[in-house]
Amino acid sequence: MKPMKFGIGQAVKRVEDARLITGHGQYTADYLPTGTLAAVFLRSPHAHARFTVSDTSAAKSMPGVRLIATAADVAHLGDLPCVAALGNSDGSKMPLPPYPVLAKDEVLHVGDAVAMVVAETEAQAREAADAIEIDWEPLAAVIEMTDAIAPGAASVWRQAAGNIAYDAHMGDKAKTDAAFSKAAQVVSLQVVNNRLIANYMEPRAAIGEYDAASGRYTLTVASQGVHGLRDILSKQILKVPPENLRVVTPDVGGGFGTKAFMYREYPLVLDAARQVGAPVRWVSDRSEHFIGDAQGRDNLTTAEMALDKNGRFLAMRVDILGNLGAYLSQFAPYIPWLGATMATGTYDIPVLHARVRGIYTHTLPVDAYRGAGRPEAAYVLERLVDQCARQIGMPREELRAKNFVKSTQMPYKTITDRTYDVGDFEGAMRKSLANAGYFDFDRRIDESKRRGKVRGIGFASYIECTAWGDGEEGSVKLEPDGTFTVLIGTQSNGQGHATAYAQVVSQHLDVPLERIRVIQGDSDRIPTGHGTGGSRSIPIGAAMLARASEKLSVQLKELAADKLEAAAADLEIADGRVRIAGTDRSISFEEIAKLPGATPEKLKAVDEFVPPTATYPNGTHVCELEIDPDTGVTEILRYGVCDDFGFTLNPLLLAGQVHGGVAQGIGQALYERTVYSEDGQLLTASFMDYCMPRAADIPEFHFETCNVPSTTNPLGLKGAGEAGSIAACPTVMNAVVDALHRAYGIDHIDMPATPSRVFAAVQQARH
């Protein structure tokens, strides 16, 4: 494909920037229709309790109060659905306990919503919420997964004996047992994948509006896709025809998976708007985000590798406990299972058995967060492979090279039934290690030692799956003024989709980006869509737009052919015009739009792209760091990335995605820890207690690509939104363990490797 000034592959600056940098972004909470009322939620202070709402009359009579709703008042609304039920290994289906829009009689986690108050101002609503009288009867709560599955534990759901939501198996247990019994060596490891809180900078927000004359609802909401919310809300919760609900999502201040789900506040502000006859707005504050939004990760995994005497992997055994919290969030059960499907990673492991159990506890629901299962899988595997290397005394890179799926084996079907189409795992590793000065590392240890520090280097070779499942339909249209409009049902959460999509259109129609308008996030204007998630928007959305743009370019040439009295085959598109190749005879897009034959159908191209299967981004990240044994503080010195994303649409956007993902992984590895007290109080419920990475914590990165084009889409793209967060945790932790092992013989520490944990481990090893 010929290079275009603004086309694909160029480091084009973002079309979104001018608005955002001047404070003119339009986020949900910036929308304040006249007469808007404020909604606040009364939330449970207990992890588990029975309750009765004894009196709301005082609250109802307070100044400005317009509506108070408890469970009894919203019985007409359906429950929040879980759409990802799994089968148990005994063939039964997992039960799906109810997730009501307001808790009735019993609360199951701190923050469980009990009542909604709508008033003229937020302050009035908060005061009224405080005045609602509730009789609480606290009950025994179970918080840790290991406690939840122990005999005699308090029960979250009577449908789920032993607090087990599901008990699913993958692979072949008998073959795995046989392989382990013949193995020359067996290496095992148990790791915690710490629970995370998404903490997008824009807290969730929703505004409900209702037009009594037409019976139509409008929800403006910070989401990851309007169509999915519209369908669930209309069909299952509000029980109105889908055409009676419009869902709009303006600018979004980060989502990371966690803004994808149906949340209780959405139907409730809509229902309230209908009842009070005015727009009703709810804006989460930061505390409410901590106790009101789904959380991420939280696995406890035991993994074992069977090796022959030469270090070849014979079989793998994995036992995953995934904390699902108290209620089943929309995709919750699927997340640990998705991780299990990536259990063997970049390695040729012929035999596997995985057991995956979802566990209920009296904690916030857990669902997808950037990577969703894949970071957990990569973390387990890459920590285990390092452990294998240490135990059998083989260099880490040699053990990996020996066991990698070779590029000559592609397409390669994993024992978990995935097919990797392309990839050069060893090539990526060699390149990344060379860039990082890996083989000169020993020279740098002494320098640290002189300053009283211990130094380590670690790396991880990862593979993940992106852009599977639903396709995406969209359109490109020539407007009368010669500009183009793109309609697409993916949803930017800040990644710069409008820029990337405009580049694709520009590639085919050779117009500057400012003449291309990308419309997202309005269920009235865009017929279908599947939002952002699973790193799908570019591999699927851009692939679809490439085809639609190409189709439109052919249609426009056909229109121009009549006018220019030439064959369409002799025409080319250049500089915003269609011209007869090699001549100066041409016609502008604006003129084409006004031709008599330019019917709406001919000025617009609609296409759909359904991915045949997932794409498989992969690569190797390397981290070098220094630990101060006297304080336990870890400082990252260098971080290098060599990733295969198939094709780079925009190097600037790509680097931003990778850096951001890696930083979130560094946060998980070194800083972020979600702590509940024994009775289920969330102790880390503010930025003072939940440690987020800040500017001083994130190093400069070395980032380069080693792209092998995917065969699954026309542009060869692989999704890039989550890769950084998948690779970074094992990379950083392998470096931490490397440093501690070289200096003190320590071969395990769990995330997050906080100063206090590292300090304690060093003290214990020294004595």
Partner 1 sequence: MPDGSRSGAEYSLRIRVNGTDHAVSLDPRVTLLDFLRERLHLTGTKKGCNFGECGACTLHLDGRRVNACMVLAVQADGREVTTIEGLAEADRLHPVQQAFIDADGFQCGFCTPGQVMSAVACIAEGHAGSDAEIREWMSGNLCRCSAYPQIVDAVRAAAAAMAGKG
Whether the Cβ atoms of residue 300 and residue 192 lie closer than 8 Å to each other = yes
Nearer to partner 1, 49 or 649 (CB): 649
Nearer to partner 1, 194 or 346 (CB): 194
Q: How far is the CB of 385 from partner 1 (least distance, A)?
A: 27
Nearest to 323 by CA among 168, 189, 169, 165: 165
Tokens 């010195």 correspond to what residue?
Answer: 637
Based on the shown chain and the rule CB under 8 A, indicate whether residue 482 belongs to the binding site for partner 1. Answer: no
Q: Within 331-455, where are the H helices?
A: 334-341, 374-392, 396-403, 425-435, 441-450
Can you tell me which of 32, 184, 567, 581 binds partner 1, judged by CB under 8 A? 32
> Alpha-carbon distance 362 to 324, whole Å?
9
Tokens of 109: 């986690």
In one-letter notation, the amino acid at residue 732 is V
Can you tell me which of 208, 494, 521, 752 binds partner 1, judged by CB under 8 A? 494
**Nearest 5°: CA angle at 384, between 296 and 369?**
15
Report whether the peptide linkage leading into residue 752 is cis, meaning its omega lies within 30 degrees of zero: yes
Based on the shown chain and the rule CB under 8 A, indicate whether residue 446 belongs to the binding site for partner 1. Answer: no
Question: Reduced to 3 states, what is the DSSP secondary structure of residue 523?
Answer: coil
Based on the shown chain and the rule CB under 8 A, indicate whether residue 203 belongs to the binding site for partner 1. Answer: yes
CA distances from 589 to 479, 611, 751 (A): 9, 32, 57
> Alpha-carbon distance 645 to 647, whole Å?
6
Size of the site for partner 1 (CB under 8 A): 59
> Alpha-carbon distance 701 to 41, whole Å?
42
Can you tell me which of 3, 22, 451, 565 binds partner 1, judged by CB under 8 A? 22
Can you tell me which of 51, 210, 256, 438 binds partner 1, judged by CB under 8 A? 256
Tokens of 462: 């990862």
Can you tell me which of 228, 496, 539, 541 binds partner 1, judged by CB under 8 A? 496
Can you tell me which of 93, 286, 413, 594 binds partner 1, judged by CB under 8 A? 286
Q: How far is the CB of 643 from partner 1 (least distance, A)?
A: 16
Which residues share a beta bridge with 767? Answer: none
Can you tell me which of 194, 249, 323, 493 binds partner 1, judged by CB under 8 A? 493
Nearer to partner 1, 141 or 518 (CB): 518
> Alpha-carbon distance 111 to 290, whole Å?
9
Can you tell me which of 601, 695, 745, 767 binds partner 1, judged by CB under 8 A? 695
Based on the shown chain and the rule CB under 8 A, indicate whether residue 701 belongs to the binding site for partner 1. Answer: yes
Based on the shown chain and the rule CB under 8 A, indicate whether residue 472 belongs to the binding site for partner 1. Answer: no
Which of these ranges, 413-421, 513-521, 545-553, 650-658, lies near partner 1 under the rule CB under 8 A? Answer: 650-658
Nearer to partner 1, 290 or 589 (CB): 290
Can you tell me which of 191, 232, 283, 328 binds partner 1, judged by CB under 8 A? 283
Helices (H) and strands (E) counted in the chain, each on its own, are: 19, 28
Based on the shown chain and the rule CB under 8 A, indicate whether residue 285 belongs to the binding site for partner 1. Answer: yes
Based on the shown chain and the rule CB under 8 A, indicate whether residue 755 belongs to the binding site for partner 1. Answer: no
Can you tell me which of 6, 99, 200, 645 binds partner 1, judged by CB under 8 A? 200
**Nearest 5°: CA angle at 646, between 642 and 651?**
65
Tokens of 210: 């209702």
Question: Using CB under 8 A as the criterion, what x/- string covers residues 654-693 for binding partner 1?
Answer: -xx--xx-xxx---------------------xxx---xx
Nearer to partner 1, 207 or 283 (CB): 283
Q: How far is the CB of 59 from partner 1 (least distance, A)?
A: 15
Q: How far is the CB of 649 from partner 1 (least distance, A)?
A: 14
Cβ count within 10 A of residue 688: 7
Based on the shown chain and the rule CB under 8 A, indicate whether residue 700 belongs to the binding site for partner 1. Answer: yes
Q: How far is the CB of 623 from partner 1 (least distance, A)?
A: 15
Nearer to partner 1, 18 or 574 (CB): 18
Can you tell me which of 27, 136, 744, 759 binds partner 1, judged by CB under 8 A? 27
φ, ψ of residue 476 to 5 degrees: the values are: -125, 130
Cβ neighbors of 178 (< 8 A, separation 6 or more) are none
Based on the shown chain and the rule CB under 8 A, indicate whether residue 161 belongs to the binding site for partner 1. Answer: no
Based on the shown chain and the rule CB under 8 A, indicate whether residue 364 belongs to the binding site for partner 1. Answer: no
Whether the Cβ atoms of residue 609 and residue 713 lie closer than 8 Å to each other = yes
Can you tell me which of 93, 406, 413, 694 binds partner 1, judged by CB under 8 A? 694
Q: How far is the CB of 658 from partner 1 (least distance, A)?
A: 10
Nearer to partner 1, 23 or 596 (CB): 23
In one-letter notation, the amino acid at residue 409 is Q
In one-letter notation, the amino acid at residue 184 is A
Nearer to partner 1, 198 or 682 (CB): 198
Cβ neighbors of 331 (< 8 A, separation 6 or more) are 82, 83, 84, 260, 261, 367, 368, 372
> Alpha-carbon distance 298 to 318, whole Å?
16
Q: How far is the CB of 293 from partner 1 (least distance, A)?
A: 13
Question: Reduced to 3 states, what is the DSSP secondary structure of residue 43?
Answer: strand
Based on the shown chain and the rule CB under 8 A, indicate whether residue 250 belongs to the binding site for partner 1. Answer: no
Q: How far is the CB of 11 from partner 1 (least distance, A)?
A: 9
Q: How far apart are the first and last CA of the chain?
A: 64
Can you tell me which of 112, 209, 251, 293 binds partner 1, judged by CB under 8 A? 251
Whether the Cβ atoms of residue 734 and residue 458 lie closer than 8 Å to each other = yes
Can you tell me which of 5, 17, 130, 469 binds partner 1, judged by CB under 8 A? 17
Tokens 């990082």 correspond to what residue?
Answer: 436
Cβ neighbors of 39 (< 8 A, separation 6 or more) are 116, 117, 118, 125, 265, 268, 269, 272, 280, 281, 282
Which helix H or strand E contains 561, and what residues bound it? helix 543-564
Q: How far is the CB of 566 from partner 1 (least distance, A)?
A: 42
Q: How far is the CB of 507 from partner 1 (least distance, A)?
A: 21
| Contacts (CB under 8 A) with partner 1, residues 33-92 | 63
In one-letter notation, the amino acid at residue 20 is L
Write out the residues near partner 1 by the rule CB under 8 A.
Answer: 13-14, 16-25, 27, 29-30, 32, 63, 123, 198-203, 251-254, 256, 283, 285-287, 493-496, 652-653, 655-656, 659-660, 662-664, 686-688, 692-701
